[in-house]
Copies of this chain bind each other. A is one copy, B any other.
Amino acid sequence: MEPAISVLVAQFKTYAGKDGSSSTLSKDEFQNLVASQLPTLVTNASDPGVIDQLMSSLDQNNDGELTFLEFWELIGTLASKHGGFSQ
């Protein structure tokens, strides 16, 4: 599992590093990541309303930036649904 985990960490850092804080995702960075990296798990990433809603549901301290752990929670939820686990 460790190689797969490393891929996820490295890709998060790539997108998070595009502007502002290199350790968190701004809304633009989040939209870029979702649209290019999660095309199956999030099918409507080009809809700004979808991105706004996902972002606000994850951004627990409401600062407009997603931490790695906030983002991790999203992909866990998506993977759990996609993998057929009960919620």
Q: Which residue on chain B has the smallest CB distance to residue A73? A: B76
**A54 in the interface (beta carbon within 8 A):** no
Number of interface residues of A (CB under 8 A): 34
A61 touches B (CB below 8 Å): no
A79 touches B5 (CB 8 A): yes
Selected from B67, B72, B79, the residue in CB contact (under 8 A) with A79 is B72
Instruction: Please tell me if the beta carbons of A38 and B1 are within 8 angstroms of each other in the complex.
Output: yes
Chain B: minimal CB distance from A10 (Å): 8
- Complex Cα distance, B40 from A4, in Å, reads 13
Residues of A within 8 A of B (CB): 1-5, 7-9, 11-13, 23, 33, 37-41, 67-69, 72-73, 75-80, 82-83, 85-87
